[in-house]
Amino acid sequence: MSALINLYEFARSGQRAEGELELIRMLRLESPKREGVLRWQAVGFVSRQKKPQLDLEIAGIVDLVCQRCLEPVKLKLALQRRFLVARSEQEADEVPMDDDHIEVVVGSESFDIEALVEDEVLLSLPLVPMHQDCHHPELRLDENKALSESIEGKAAESKPSPFAVLEKLKSK
């Protein structure tokens, strides 16, 4: 099935589409086994400001490798994204980014929605996938938790706490 759509028309007339992206076709995914599918659903609409928009939902399970024990770890994905559909790269650059809940995508009359699905999945993967508990690897890694844990972990390593900085200032 081809997933090429006229994204402007799709949004303007409020169309819906859904499909399954086979993981085996996600060539950029680094995974020990690219099995199964990701289900996606796209809904076009026009915002109150008369801007074409796209809601995209993606769900499925991706197999990754735990960077702590090097065993497989399953990542359950449940992504929801909202996009403003821009006419050009230039228009996309000019969109004020005051809303964290919306992304910008440059539309096309033959837009490859599966490529967008793949991009969003790859962007959502944790930099360092890990089991919550390597001794009980059947526990599924939760996407958001994994992300915040890896970010917090890094922040804690690299940044001294503000109190430590204060202590230093006091002692000078």
Q: Which is nearer to Zn ion, 69 or 164 (CB)?
A: 69
Q: Which is nearer to Zn ion, 77 or 134 (CB)?
A: 134
CA separation for the pair 140, 79 (Å, rounded): 16
Helix (H, G, I), strand (E, B) or coil at 136: coil
Q: Which is nearer to Zn ion, 32 or 160 (CB)?
A: 32
CA separation for the pair 118, 135 (Å, rounded): 31
Q: Which of residues 15-74 bind Zn ion (CB under 5 A)?
A: 66, 68-69
> Which amino acid, one-letter code, is at 144?
N
Q: How many residues sit in the footprint of Zn ion (CB under 5 A)? A: 5
Binding mask 114-133 for Zn ion (x = CB under 5 A): -----------------x--
Looking at 128, 134, 143, 150, which residue binds Zn ion (CB under 5 A)? 134
Task: Output the CA–CA distances (angstroms, integers) from residue 52 to 44, 80, 95, 97, in the order listed.
Answer: 7, 17, 13, 16
- Tell the residue number behind the tokens 């992206």, with chain if given: 21
Residue 43 Cβ, how far from Zn ion at the closest point, in Å? 37
Residues at the site binding Zn ion, with contacts judged by CB under 5 A? 66, 68-69, 131, 134
